[in-house]
Homo-oligomer: A and B are copies of this chain.
């Protein structure tokens, strides 16, 4: 299955509408110390994965996607809040090729920028049609809490030697999967889809979210800095427990793992170091195993859809799931 030009053009058009709505949402100017960094960060662009999923999910249940534009943008604003605060906690200096907010301004400014984005997210959400607003606000709020829990668990893992794949899946379900599942679920609800459709959309989102996060972990190691727009190997350097790192430990010999640990203790990952680690990964088929897991998740996402939606209804979301599989950044 190939991405059709119509689909690509359609996505570009939806993205344009999302970006417009986002910048309008953050359109205030006073105080500049709050709204300048908010606008700066939103203008980085980004994939707009979550709001696109909301709009496509709303279309999938047969409704006008414009009904879901406020909620879609609310989710993107919320996602941006998590990025700004995570960048402080992870001390990341680059995001999408630009200095992060706390690097360009200060930690205080970045804390407030994130806080302000939550407020703006809820303000946007309030423009959802009244019939579904209450249900949507509840799901959105549970998403906020879940994302904070996931980030706390992720930070806890950095201090631990041993994290199982099951614990990792639980963590990313909260940290990443939940908000993506909220995106598809809310799209279905705003479009007043049948409850089986909404349930299928949520399951689709959960599986896509998992695939997306594992892909993210993989790209941290195999992508190039220019394409990724952030420090390569930063997960490794911070002691993050990602899928690929957990699998690396599982599939390497004790000697190889000792070797990697010695390298990692230097807490500075340059290119030759990264190449050494990648050689051990290649030998033990860690990358293939990871790609295999991503494929399984995408497949399970597609199955959720096809059990409830007709091929025509599901087509755009199906294409979207393929895009995730093939993304380079």
Contacts and interface: CB of A to CB of B under 8 A. Distances in A.
Question: Chain A: interface secondary structure?
Answer: helix
A31 interface: yes
23 contacts: A31-B149, A31-B156, A33-B152, A33-B153, A33-B155, A34-B148, A34-B149, A81-B115, A107-B107, A111-B111, A112-B148, A112-B151, A112-B152, A115-B118, A115-B144, A115-B148, A116-B148, A116-B152, A120-B145, A122-B122, A123-B145, A134-B134, A137-B137
A307 to B, nearest CB: 31
B112 A126 contact: no
A34 B152 CA distance: 6
The 6 closest A-B pairs by CB, nearest first: A119-B145, A119-B144, A34-B152, A89-B108, A122-B141, A116-B148
Contact of A89 (B112, B122, B156): B112
A191 interface: no
Interface in A120-143: 120, 122-123, 126, 130, 133-134, 137-138, 141-142
Given A122-B141, A141-B122, A111 B130 contact: no
Interface in A163-202: none
A138 B126 contact: yes
Contact of A119 (B119, B130, B141, B155): B141
Contacts of A118: 115, 118, 144
A153 B115 contact: no
A203 to B, nearest CB: 23
A209 interface: no
A92 to B, nearest CB: 13
A132 to B, nearest CB: 11
